[in-house]
Structure formats: C-alpha cells, structure tokens
Structure 1
C-alpha cells in the first residue's frame, strides 16, 4: 500500500508488514498495543527516520488502537521524529554530567560550524543537531548519540572529525557496537 503525501510517502511494503507481524507475534493477540514502541521504530526506520501524522494514523490502524494512543507515545519520546531530519542527527546529551563537561558549548559549536540552530537541519538535508535528555553514559561525558551508537569524551576536534567522516560517508548509523571513542 502506498499513499502519496506532500512530505512523506507512506509505504507499508511486504517486508515491513512481515517485520511488524513478527513483532506482534511476541504479544497476546488481544494486546497489540504492547508492540507499539518496537513497531514505531520499524516504521520510522522504513520512512526516512520520521513519522508524519498520516503514518502515525496508519500505525494505529495496524495495531487496532486509537490514533491518539500513538500520538501520545510519539510526542513523549524524543527517539521518534515528528518532522524530517537530516541523514546524520547529532543528539547531544544535555543533562548535568554532560553539561558540566561542556556539552552545551559543544552543541553550540556544532550548530555554528554547520550554520544551523538547535533543532534545525542543514539545507542539504545532511545534519540535524538536537539536545536530548540523559543518554545513560554519564561516565563518558560529554557525549552524543548518532544513529545507533555513541560518541564519547567529546572535544571540538572530535566533533570536527565526526562531521568530516559524515560528509565522506564513513559513518555507519547502525553499528552493532554502539560504544565508540
């Protein structure tokens, strides 16, 4: 099924449907809502890493729940994106440990270097910079998450290197080992 949208094409293809059904198989048939978080992850991954209202409605339909039940989850968790984002989203931890070690200054530095403000995406669609709540790596502060893994003990030099690696296509967003220096 494919629905054209001004901002997003909704495509729940056979492969995604199979994955959703596999996830649903882990829960009682009358408790489909229990699969909401993993289903949202799969659907978001298959749709350029964001969830339009129409796509959220489709998830509600699949799980046989009210659309508001999906909206509540998507608007609560920062891991779900409600608008298009860059290919590389730098999620800077901005809780106390990271802030005390300079995370806010590094986030400002990154935004200045990319010519954007926090929450914005570069005109080429490559980078988005956001501040997020605790990523659970306080001993490695300051840090950020990009894709499925962390970059820790950040410095301006490490941020510069990361930006260059992204521009060169050398950053794998879905590595198995998410802890990297």
Structure 2
C-alpha cells in the first residue's frame, strides 16, 4: 500500500501571500480537482513526519507536469485568427474623447496564433502554486508579436466577450480545463507519490 494512502491530511500547508492576486484567466493547477489538493496535503504530512520540510519549490515541482498538460490543452483550444491584427495608440482630442478612426498610431501587430502562444505555465514567486494562463508582454508591449514572442493581454475578452462592443464570448480556457482535468489530476498524483518514494528511498525506508 502506498505511504500516501496511509497518512492522514493533517498539518498546515504553506500559504499564498494575502496580497497575491492572479490574473483573470489564470488557472490554479492545485485547485482543478479536490483530489489534487488532498494528495498534496498527504505528501506534506509524510514530509513532516520524516522531519523534512515540504517546500514551495517541492510543491511546484509536483504540480509542473500537470500544469504543462493543461497548458497544452488550452493552447489547442485557443481560437486562431486567419489574419494579422493591430493595436493602435489613439490620441485624445480632449479629455475622454478619442480622435477619429484612422488617426491612431499603429504600435503592435499580432500574427495568427498569438493567443495560443501566450498561454504559459506561470510561476509567481508570491504563490505556493503554479498557474496556467495568458502571459502579457508588460515590459515591451509594442512591435510585432510572432514566433516565440506573444502577448495575451486580450485573452479575457475572447473568453468572456465584450457585449457592450458587440464582441461575443469564445470560451477556450474553461472547456480546456474540463477536458484536461482528469489527465492533470493523474499527473500530479503520480508526481506526488514519486516525491514520497524518493524521500523514503533517501531515508532508507521501504
């Protein structure tokens, strides 16, 4: 019988910073299934009973493979445009009034597949968990986004739509989570048990 199955879910887990707020579409891999969090708690307890700290680094290592599975599924389901899209910096004539269409300056172009390429495994320093979601080009949000360069700043508009502007919702994150949920859970459970087995082997415990 696996050690994980024999150990109860006691003890406190390292928590996220109270000030930490993930993005609108960031999916917390550990929260996809109650079984994932339960398994992590069991690993935490095993580590505690053997006098080994269950660090955030170790927790994220266990979540990594599941996060990559979810990332790939979201990328697959992300809609791909058939043409290049552009973003403009439109000056204001007066406060709150934009200049007419065509007066703006083109500041960025987005090649087909930009949204899919923007989906990453997000490792926030202030969180104990891994997230999967669109990565934004915060440092340099201008220029051509093609190849490995991507900017998913508009992903939530695609997922939920913008009714006031006539933009319909095209969900791709939620369907992907539903489709990959089982595979993500299985991957995390496997990695969790591997972590325990490695610790037991290191301590000479069979």
Q: Give the TM-score taking structure 1 as reference length.
A: 0.25
Name the structure, 1 or 2, with higher relative contact order (CA <8 Å, separation 6+). Answer: 2
Q: Give the TM-score taking structure 2 as reference length.
A: 0.23
